[in-house]
Structures are given as C-alpha cells and as structure tokens.
C-alpha cells in the first residue's frame, strides 16, 4: 500500500525495558541504560568510554567548571585524584576557592526561593540552593594572606596553586590531593576568582608576580608528550577551551572524550559546542570515541564515575 513504510526489526536493537531491582549496584543500573533511549543511553556510553580511559594507557584530563564544590562534588574529584585517575586538572578559580573554604568550614543547604535581600542582611551568599557565610570569606582572605609565597621571581599559576595545596592540611581537599599526587592543576582564569583578587592585594605590599602565560607551555608539553589522551569535560567554559586548544599546536588529538553539560549548541557558545565540532578543529581525533551527556553534572558525574570504578574494582 502506498505511504506505508516497512521496517525490519532486529531483536538485538530492541529497546530494553529497564527493570529496577532492590539493591542493584550503580553499574548494574548504568549497564541497563545501554539499551534504553535518550540520555540514559548516552550516560551508559559515557561510562563505557570512561572505563576505557581509566583502565588504558591514556593521559587523563579532567576539566571542571560550574559550582561543583559547593554542590557537594569535592570528594568525587579528590578521590579520583588520589586514586590515580586524573593526570591533569583544569578548573575554575571558584571551585578552588570553595575547595579551600571546605578545608576549614562548610557550605550549607538553603533554598533557591530564599529572599536574597534578607540573606544579604544577615551576611549570607547564595549559590542556587546552597548558602555560604560572609565570615567564611573573611577567614579565606586571612588564610590567603598568610600562605601566599613571597617571590622575587615570577612563578606560573600552576606553581602558585601547587604551593597553596602544600599548605592546606585537609587531605580531602582537591588542591592538597593534587599536591600529594603530583597532579598539575591549571586555572587559566585565575584572576577571575577570589584567589586572584587576594593574590593582587598581597602583591601590593609584598613581592609576588604570576606569569599568566607560563601555564600554556606546560600544558602544551603534556599534550605533546601524550601518546594517547582522554578528557572528561564537566560543564564547559574556560577550562574546556584551555584544555582542547592545547592540542592544536601538537601533532596529537584527544582519543577519548566525554562532555557532561546542560548547554546546547544552537547559540554557538563553547559550553554547548558538540565534541564532533571539536573534530573539525583537530582537537579531537576523527577516530575518537566520544559522547555528550546532557544533564546536571551533579547527577551524571557521580553515576558515571561510580559505574566505572565498580568495573575496575571487579
């Protein structure tokens, strides 16, 4: 009959109707999603790629943007570092500021519908539904002024963060974990943070000079010397671009890539740009395995990490 389309169904390609079992593991749930549609299937693919990245001989890059530490993802990142699953961390200054604050205080659960004028009156700042007190920032300023190094010679941003990590006693800290495990931490927009602001204030009365371009050479060298490289991109922004662009001046490209984002590509912004688009730039290999998972990274990151680590343990 005209207008009728006949599709031959292969049972191997049939959508799997997910069954939830009491006590099932994270990995069992994620594996079950591999035969589902939409975001579930993408997250299952991300876990497969991440398992390959962690178990293979890849230089492992992690880029971190957004307010991941205030939201409670701090130990996910520091545990990955201490587990040897991160070779290079590229992040925002905000995540590092809140990481340092967590070393002596904590963020608290609040309400996204709070009266912000009232919060300002009592000295509380809001990050969506998370609160932090002004007194914690006062303590942060005092701490920074006491641990910044005096240096007659210019140092790189990565070296500055390494020094800060060495002077944080909390072993669950991202910066401290990176220092202990000798993982370089790059913060390409360091001036756009309270660390940068406090460093500038320190430099007004003492000797401290940070070379804004020195980090580029170091991360490019790492990219150049990476025979195989994988990247997990949480969010987007400056950490994503700084990491991907570093491959442009090398003969290499990323072989594995995972992007966890809430942004879509239609407006041309980098945070939503597809990983396929990065192939056109030569940042990601044409033969790479890659996937973008659309969703809140405070949900997708722990699920992906949990499934991959469970497989490695087995």
On whether the CB atoms of residues 97 and 194 are closer than 8 A, the answer is: yes
DSSP 200-254: HHHHTTS---EETTHHHHHHHHHHHT-SSEEEEEES-HHHHHHHHHTTTTSS--E
On whether the CB atoms of residues 86 and 80 are closer than 8 A, the answer is: yes
> What are the helix (H) ranges across the chain?
26-33, 38-55, 74-82, 93-102, 116-121, 134-147, 157-166, 174-181, 194-203, 214-224, 237-245, 275-281, 297-313
**What does the alpha-carbon distance between residue 21 and residue 37 come to, in Å, rounded to a whole number?**
19
Confirm whether 283 is a catalytic residue: yes
Residues with Cβ within 8 Å of residue 225, at least 6 apart in sequence: none
On whether the CB atoms of residues 134 and 125 are closer than 8 A, the answer is: yes
Task: State the number of CA atoms in the 13 A half-sphere of 268 facing the CB.
Answer: 0
> One of 60, 240, 283, 314 is an active-site residue; which one?
283
Q: Just list the catalytic residues.
A: 283
């Amino acid at each position: 009959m005209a207008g009728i389309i006949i599709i031959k169904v292969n049972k191997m390609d049939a959508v799997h109707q997910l069954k939830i079992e009491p006590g099932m593991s994270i990995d069992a749930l994620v594996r079950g999603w591999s035969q589902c549609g939409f975001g579930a299937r993408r997250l299952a693919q991300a876990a497969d790629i991440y398992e390959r990245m962690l178990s293979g001989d890849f230089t492992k890059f992690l880029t971190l943007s957004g307010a991941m530490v205030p939201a409670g993802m701090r130990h996910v990142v520091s545990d990955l570092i201490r587990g040897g699953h991160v070779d290079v961390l590229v992040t925002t200054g905000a995540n590092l500021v809140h990481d340092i604050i967590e070393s002596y205080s904590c963020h608290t659960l609040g309400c996204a519908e709070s009266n912000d004028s009232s919060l300002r009156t009592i000295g509380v700042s809001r990050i969506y539904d998370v609160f932090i007190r002004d007194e914690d920032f006062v303590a942060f300023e005092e701490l920074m002024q006491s641990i910044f190094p005096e240096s007659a010679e210019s140092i790189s941003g990565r070296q500055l963060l390494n020094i800060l990590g060495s002077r944080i006693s909390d072993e669950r800290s991202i910066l401290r974990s990176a220092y202990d495990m000798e993982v370089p931490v790059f913060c390409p927009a360091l001036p756009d943070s309270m660390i940068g602001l406090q460093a500038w204030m320190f430099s007004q009365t003492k000797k401290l000079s940070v070379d804004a371009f020195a980090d580029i050479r170091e991360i490019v060298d790492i990219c150049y010397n990476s025979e195989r490289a994988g990247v997990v991109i949480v969010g987007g922004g400056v950490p994503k671009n700084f990491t991907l662009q570093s491959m442009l001046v090398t003969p290499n490209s990323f072989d594995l890539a995972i992007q966890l984002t809430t942004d879509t590509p239609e407006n041309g912004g980098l945070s939503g740009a597809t990983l396929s688009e990065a192939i056109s730039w030569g940042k990601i290999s044409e033969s790479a395995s890659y996937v973008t998972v659309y969703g809140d990274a405070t949900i997708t990151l722990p699920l992906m990490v949990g499934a991959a680590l469970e497989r490695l343990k087995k």
